[in-house]
């Protein structure tokens, strides 16, 4: 059967010192698996739709660890390209507390997925009958060949009749604003739904506005998107933020509730929004207010969960949407 959602991107093994230790202090590491587009596929699958994740992995224990975590959550990995060469990328997360911000150190150069090239994936076969294709700005930032594969996949998705989404997800440790702007601007011609932040929009597209709604309007005017979703984070403290989003579609501006979140782990929260938003859109046959509210609630819950992946259920998200309280669930 065709998948509801297919995603394309890198996944890495994450190592984090426990108990707020700095990397230099580390004696042990907590081990997690995550990556923007895999995180989205996991959310979609856990919430109840079928999802496949496309990438390239090295055939070794770390590559199998990544695949195992994806399959644990019901994500199809049958289209992953395997190699006996290269490596699985690593990244280290150092959790901070005010006034010290959390920090990330990448060790991903030469990863297997960075050598993914056009022609390695049979996109017409993967995308036949698919309802939605998702990727992000991280994928084309990995290498020139990954840029070409991202373009190839978006074009194939458009040809297959799938709705396409792109999360800007700017990473300054991967490429410059000029590089990101040039590549992402080109890719927007095959993008139906843009997911972004005000900061990423300013850095990558040079767009600013009096408020978030004006930023969304400028994006739609420039690129002709079906919809633009902007997530909004206010972080007065490292471990307490507010979280909300808005969506502009068909000339209508939708706004979500704002949640105050106590953060256990914010890594992957934006991806949890994307996964919840895509799920909400498909599950409701295009009710944009429901999709927005569902994505924001799913991401709010993700802040309370360790690791990159969002271990939520549809029932939990819907309970939060109905105003679920903080009493112990017995």
Q: Tell me, what's the pLDDT at 237?
A: 86
Q: Tell me, what's the pLDDT at 326?
A: 59
Measure the CA–CA gap between 38 and 177, rounded to whole angstroms: 24
Residue 100 belongs to domain with CATH number: 3.40.1190.20
**Domain presence at residue 329:** no
* Sign of the CA dihedral with 116 first, then 162, 130, and 167 last: positive
Respond yes or no: is residue 4 known to be catalytic: no
Domain that holds residue 203: 5-321
pLDDT of 259-285, one tens digit each?
999 999 999 999 999 999 999 999 999
Domain count, the chain: 1
**Domain presence at residue 195:** yes
pLDDT of 94-122, one tens digit each?
999 989 999 999 999 999 999 999 999 99
Q: Tell me, what's the pLDDT at 329?
A: 64
Token pair recorded at residue 315: 């029932």
**Domain presence at residue 328:** no
Please check whether residue 51 is in contact with residue 74, taking contact to mean a CB–CB distance below 8 angstroms: yes
Q: Tell me, what's the pLDDT at 328?
A: 54
Q: Tell me, what's the pLDDT at 65?
A: 98
End-to-end CA distance of the chain: 39
Q: Tell me, what's the pLDDT at 1?
A: 76
Phi/psi zone of residue 69: left (φ > 0), alpha (ψ -120 to 50 degrees), beta? alpha
Question: Per the residue annotation, which of 4, 271, 293, 308 is the catalytic one?
Answer: 271
**Domain presence at residue 273:** yes
Q: Tell me, what's the pLDDT at 74?
A: 98
**Domain presence at residue 330:** no
Q: Tell me, what's the pLDDT at 264?
A: 95
Q: Tell me, what's the pLDDT at 324?
A: 72
**Domain presence at residue 327:** no
Please check whether residue 60 is in contact with residue 29, taking contact to mean a CB–CB distance below 8 angstroms: no
Residue numbers of the chain with a pLDDT score lower than 70? 325-330
Q: What is the DSSP letter of 286?
A: S
């Amino acid at each position: 059967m065709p998948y509801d959602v297919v995603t394309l991107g890198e996944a890495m093994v994450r190592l984090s010192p426990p108990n707020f230790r700095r990397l230099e202090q580390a004696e042990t590491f907590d081990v997690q698996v995550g990556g923007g587009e895999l995180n989205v596929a996991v959310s979609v699958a856990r919430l109840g739709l079928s999802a496949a994740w496309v990438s390239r992995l090295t055939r070794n224990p770390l590559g199998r660890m990544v695949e195992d975590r994806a399959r644990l959550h019901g994500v199809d990995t049958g289209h992953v390209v395997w190699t006996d060469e290269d490596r699985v990328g690593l990244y280290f997360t150092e959790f901070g507390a005010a006034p010290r911000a959390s920090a990330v150190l990448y060790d991903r150069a030469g990863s297997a997925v960075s050598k993914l090239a056009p022609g390695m994936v049979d996109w017409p076969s993967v995308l036949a009958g698919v309802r939605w294709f998702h990727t992000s700005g991280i994928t084309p930032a990995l290498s020139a060949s990954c840029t070409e594969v991202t373009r190839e996949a978006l074009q194939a998705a458009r040809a297959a009749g799938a709705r396409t989404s792109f999360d800007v997800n700017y990473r300054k440790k991967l490429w410059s604003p000029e590089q990101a702007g040039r590549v992402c601007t080109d890719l927007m011609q095959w993008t139906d739904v843009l997911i972004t932040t005000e900061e990423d929009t300013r850095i990558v597209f040079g767009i600013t506005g009096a408020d978030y709604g004006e930023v969304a309007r400028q994006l739609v005017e420039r690129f002709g998107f079906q919809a633009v979703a902007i997530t909004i984070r206010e972080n007065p403290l490292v471990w307490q933020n507010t979280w909300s989003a808005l969506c502009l579609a068909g000339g209508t501006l939708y706004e979500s509730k704002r949640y105050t979140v106590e953060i256990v782990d914010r890594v992957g929260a934006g991806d949890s929004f994307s996964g919840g938003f895509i799920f909400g859109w498909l599950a409701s046959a295009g009710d944009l207010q429901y999709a927005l509210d569902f994505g924001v609630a799913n991401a709010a819950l993700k802040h309370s969960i360790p690791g990159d992946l969002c271990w939520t259920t549809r029932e939990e998200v819907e309970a939060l949407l109905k105003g679920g309280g903080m009493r112990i669930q017995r």
